[in-house]
Amino acid sequence: MAKIGKTDLDAFRLGLGGIPFMNLSFHQAREVISAAAAGGINLADTAEGYGDSEEKLAFALKPKRDQFIIATKSPTTDGKVMRKAIDQSLFRFGTDYIDIYQIQTLISLPDVLAPGGALEALQDAKRAGKIRYIGVTGHRASVLVEAIRTGNFDTVQAPINIVDRESEQELLPLAKQLGLGILGMKPICGGTLDNPALGLKFCLNSVADVIFCGMKSVAEVEENLAIVNSFRPLTALEEDELLAEASQLGKQFCRRCEYCLPCPEGLAIPKILWLANYKHRYPEREIWTEDEYRYLDKLATDCQECGECEEKCPYDLPIRQMLKEAHDELSPTPKQVAKRRLGKVIRRIRG
């Protein structure tokens, strides 16, 4: 256990990310959270926008609320809306205080700082004892740097992984200098790394006080706890492996954060983009990825190009264009299918 910045909160190095709870039943979520708590994890990060994640966390922690640090958040910049968001989170958690309440995915700091803005509401809630500390999260390091320079925040949460390296340049050193609690997220790039253990080890070697990792099963909790408890810095060979994979991913890829959802047309955007990326990197799995895509309820061609997903994407990805490219990648032409069949026949004859 160690302090989170200058707060009086003592936390285990690994924290629970709340997004996976949305796709688990209350019973399944309780199993995961209980396994995490049994292993020493005592901090979970969720959000008002993560479906019923707050309720599931409250359900699992009901007997031991005072033993667990709860962090949640809202993306609103308006003070009136933020006050309502805080009260609703308190109600869903069934508690009279939240340890860390954060402004989620900060984009526009002036709106937050303006009279009647979200910061004013958070400061009022802190004085009233509804929240203990004020945090800020985001995916743009330059905006977060601007925010923490104001001196209004106790913690800052940003992506820390082998691909998103921008925060290492100024944000993390500045946060450390100012004594802010540093919370890392996306350690395995939204599940896109082939070797999650190496991705987590990379983050554990950073200055972050806590690394949040989404875990959807007891097995994943146990695997990640084993990595933390036996942590050793990356070897030169492991670092080379990670860097090679990062170079393959590039910058324009889906981290599967799911902020783009729900799609008005019902497209499973993160899964479609992941399948296309997987096929591109592992062509030997082309038939599997194409079959997985073919049997989805909605294909990329069902996109009406409304652009809502791009407005919500924290990485400013050109999702509409990426969906078109994904469809082309995952939809073989008749000529390609015929060529594969011929190849199978030839291999059968030779074999």
Please give the Cα distance from 316 to 307 (Å, whole number). Answer: 11
CA-closest candidate to residue 20, choices 61, 50, 63, 59:
50
Q: How many helices (H) and strands (E) does the chain have?
A: 15, 10
Round to whole Å and give the CA distance between 183 and 16: 11
Asked about 50 being catalytic, the answer comes back as: yes
Distances (CA, A) of 251 to 107, 158, 292: 19, 16, 25
Active-site residue (options: 50, 101, 133, 278): 50
Task: Tell me which long-range contacts 104-108 makes (C-beta under 8 A, separation of at least 24).
Answer: 104/47, 104/49, 104/73, 104/74, 104/75, 104/137, 105/75, 105/137, 105/138, 105/139, 105/259, 105/314, 106/136, 106/137, 106/138, 106/140, 106/143, 106/144, 106/147, 107/138, 107/140, 107/143, 108/77
Contact 149, 141 (CB under 8 A): no
Positions marked catalytic: 50
